Structure 1
Amino acid sequence: MTAFGTLKKIAISVLALVLGGGVALADTITVGGKNFTEQLIIAEITSQLLAKKGYAVTKKDGMGTKIVRAALENGEVDVYWEYTGTSLIVFNKVTERLSPEATYERVRQLDGEKGLIWLAPSRANNTYAMTVRKGNPKTDGLKTVSDLAAAYKSGTSIVMGTTAEFPKREDGLVGLQKTYGFEVARADVKPMDLGLAYKALGNGDLDVIASQATDGLIAAMDLTVLSDDKGFFPNYALTPVVRKQVLDAHPDLKPTLEAVSSRLDDAVMQKLNGEVEVEKKSVEQVATGFLAGAQF
């Protein structure tokens, strides 16, 4: 870089510091993500796309839900993809039943007051799904979550695999048990990585798992999703969320990220997840293929 170029860069930085009220916003965007396949994929898609748009990108994925949210709030993360139902219940403590549209509007309003901007949601609804395998005498007759609850209440020992978070969440096992009126014995709840849970379900070590509706392994393993007949699980639209301060400084992030969300639905996410979980492609390969196919 020439001396003139260096001076110009310094001048721009000083101007940003002055106009920003003491906070200089660099062109580096920190992309956050949670610790399961879908989130690893969407964080990598976001990172690759922003890099293609000329940003320096730092990726911090593999985090728990509450950790990545805290990182967004305190400025350690600039953007990550959250689920509408998670924000509604876990972060904003709203317990009333809302339509998908009303859920989005409520979290957009409540989080907006905290300086977190929800962009346009995708059509990918990664809601929880109670999933069983075929050929298991304990669960073969079950069609609904009410049937599952009745089996637990009858004393049947049905071993449930979950993520580490699910047993503690109001939009997870805590609320599910309240709504359907059953209780799973502590010994019958097995928290583990979701990928391992699918393997354990397939080999008979588990009887039911709390999966996610866009998981690629549901179709690949020919599993059965029990109907949530009481409509307990809220809508979980996968949506980019950006800190207002960052979005104000980089308004082009909105159309860039919304171009991604407009291309995502359940079928697309099942396909992307399946490429990693079933075809054993790397997250980086899957993200690159998606961006190439979508012609960003």
Structure 2
Amino acid sequence: MFRNLVKSLALAGAVTALPLTAQAQEIVVGGKNFTEQLLMAEMTTRLLEANDYEVDKRDGLGSTALRSAQENGQIDLYWEYTGTSLITYNDVEERLGPEETYERVSELDAEKGLTWLQPSNANNTYALAMREADAEERGISSISDLAAKINDGEELDFAVNAEFPRRPDGLVGLQEEYDFNYPRGNLKTMESGLTYQALNEEQVEVGLVFATDGRIAAFNFVVLEDDKDFFPDYALTPVIRTETLDANPDLEGILNELSGKLSDDVMQSLNARVDVERETIEDVAESYLKEEGLI
């Protein structure tokens, strides 16, 4: 999920080479290095160009590099996740609800010259998934159900990425909140993208996924209900340098209109068209904007 930080020297060097923020009517649009972010950068570029802006798109960057570039004035605008800013960029450990998270990051980032616009209804948070038929057969629909099965000694292999077992907003905190301990022997560590393949090919019973990934619906996975609201909210939201917004106030309405159309289902569908159906980023972005009457 969008929360896997990339800190390579190559990317850092790419950011260093970026020009300073351009004058009004020329916007530098950034993006991270996974499908959803590449789509949002492309859609934003085409949307702004349709509204007579000149756009310099700089996508494919790691989270930390991209955020630093925006704070330094090298990136004007990109789509960020509320939970990422709260935990990663502002080091807030307090458990907050969706609205509180948005309000807190808006306040904290305003001090850094950044403005959070309207959050979408797309929440790309951590989630636990199972194959739909298997979940029904085992009677598991929530994380509480899964915890009860583990506590009863049922062995269910769980595909996770390398960082999830150690994160306080990952398995460490999840086990504490739901009062269970996942046996180490049943944790199968792999790259994030491979968790979907392992679950789909029945190599494991449970997989770590990200809520807006298109493979969830494509592979008939069911996301287990986080019935204790443990995982933080990661609302996909346009974030713009305040200086840029002041110079181009109409950007708020343009971006908020797009944000208001996005949801988990919409992003799952768009991501699936790229990751599963193998359509190009460019074709998916353009067709969606046209379907919604935005360009």
Structure 1 vs Structure 2 CA RMSD = 2.8
Q: Rate the CA distance shift 1:116–1:187 in 2: closer, same or farther, 3 A.
A: farther
| TM-score, normalisation: structure 2 | 0.80
Q: Distance in 2 between matches of 1:75 and 1:177?
A: 40
Q: Rate the CA distance shift 1:183–1:28 in 2: closer, same or farther, 3 A.
A: farther
1:211 aligned residue: 209
2:46, 2:286 within 8 Å by CA — same for their partners in 1? Answer: yes
Q: Distance in 1 between matches of 2:169 and 2:64?
A: 14
SS in 2 for 1:117: strand
Q: Deviations over 1:10-31 (max 9, x none)?
A: xxxxxxxxxxxxx874344222
How many residues in Structure 1 have an aligned counterpart in Structure 2?
Answer: 273
Q: Rate the CA distance shift 1:246–1:172 in 2: closer, same or farther, 3 A.
A: farther
Q: Distance in 1 between matches of 2:121 and 2:78?
A: 17
Runs of 5+ unmatched residues, structure 2: 1-19
Out of 275, 281, 284, the residue aligned to residue 286 of structure 1 is 284
Out of 63, 66, 69, the residue aligned to residue 65 of structure 1 is 63
2:191 aligned residue: 192
Out of 103, 120, 123, the residue aligned to residue 122 of structure 1 is 120
| TM-score, normalisation: structure 1 | 0.80
Q: Distance in 2 between matches of 1:115 and 1:168?
A: 32
Q: Deviations over 1:263-288 (max 9, x none)?
A: 11222222212222232211111100
SS in 2 for 1:284: helix
How many angstroms does 1:107 deviate by? 1.2
Q: Distance in 2 between matches of 1:24 and 1:190?
A: 41
2:21, 2:76 within 8 Å by CA — same for their partners in 1? Answer: no
2:74 aligned residue: 76
2:160, 2:187 within 8 Å by CA — same for their partners in 1? Answer: no
Task: State the AA in 2 paired with 1:294.
Answer: E
1:90, 1:171 within 8 Å by CA — same for their partners in 2? Answer: no
Q: Deviations over 1:44-85 (max 9, x none)?
A: 111221222333323333333333222222233221111222
Q: Distance in 2 between matches of 1:235 and 1:216?
A: 19
2:155, 2:186 within 8 Å by CA — same for their partners in 1? Answer: no
Q: Deviations over 1:145-201 (max 9, x none)?
A: 23434555566664433456544543333432332344553882423142x321221
Q: Distance in 1 between matches of 2:21 and 2:95?
A: 42
Task: State the AA in 2 paired with 1:263.
Answer: K
Out of 162, 168, 171, the residue aligned to residue 169 of structure 2 is 171
How many angstroms does 1:220 deviate by? 2.0
1:41 aligned residue: 39
How many angstroms does 1:141 deviate by? 4.1
1:127, 1:233 within 8 Å by CA — same for their partners in 2? Answer: yes
2:28 aligned residue: 30
